Amino acid sequence: MQDLLAMTYLWLKAGHLLFVIFWMAGLFMLPRFFVYHQEDGEPGSDADTVWIERERRLLRIILTPSIIVVWVLGLALAISTGAFSQGWFHAKLLFVLALSGYHGWLAGYAKKLARGERVLEGKRLRMLNEVPGLAAVLIVILVVVRPF
């Protein structure tokens, strides 16, 4: 099995990177959608209904499939390269787990907005929009530089 994965390493890596890009794009878009959603209309309005559908589609069409493929291909890459024994990978895995938790939190917040609950202010949502960018910086440094 490991030999088969090693032969397909470049394809796994290319697929992993492509789906990371899709996932990150969705993680940047969804909190911004939340800001616009909360500013655009009151719960139950036509604008509210449109934003609920946009958020649902973003999660269903881009974010959920992307996170699944990222994890599957990422684990396949880790197995094929023996990354589980390397310190940089443990740190990367920690940040990817945190980013996955953030993804789950965003999905939960989308459900709250769909129910008319507006727990966070636009300013807080704008700040939360920086989370994927910071995570990406740390993850890329860990993967490229491999400081430990």
**What letter represents residue 40's amino acid?**
D
Residues 62, 25 contacting (CB under 8 angstroms): yes
Tell whether the model's pLDDT for residue 6 goes beyond 70: no
Show Cβ contacts of residue 32 under 8 Å, excluding neighbours closer than 6 positions. Answer: 129
CB-CB neighbours of 4 under 10 Å: 9
CA distances from 114 to 36, 89, 90 (A): 14, 37, 36
In the DSSP assignment, the letter for residue 50 is: H
Averaged over 79-103, what is the pLDDT? 96
For residue 7, the model assigns a pLDDT of 78
Averaged over 8-20, what is the pLDDT? 95
Tell me the H-state helices in 58-119. Answer: 64-81, 87-114
- Taken as a whole, the chain contains a residue count of 148
Of 7-16, 20-29, 61-70, minimum mean pLDDT range: 7-16
Domain boundaries, the chain: 2-145
User: 92 a known binding residue?
Assistant: yes
User: 103 a known binding residue?
Assistant: no
Whole-angstrom distance, CA of residue 132 vs CA of residue 130? 6
Q: What is the mean pLDDT of the chain?
A: 95
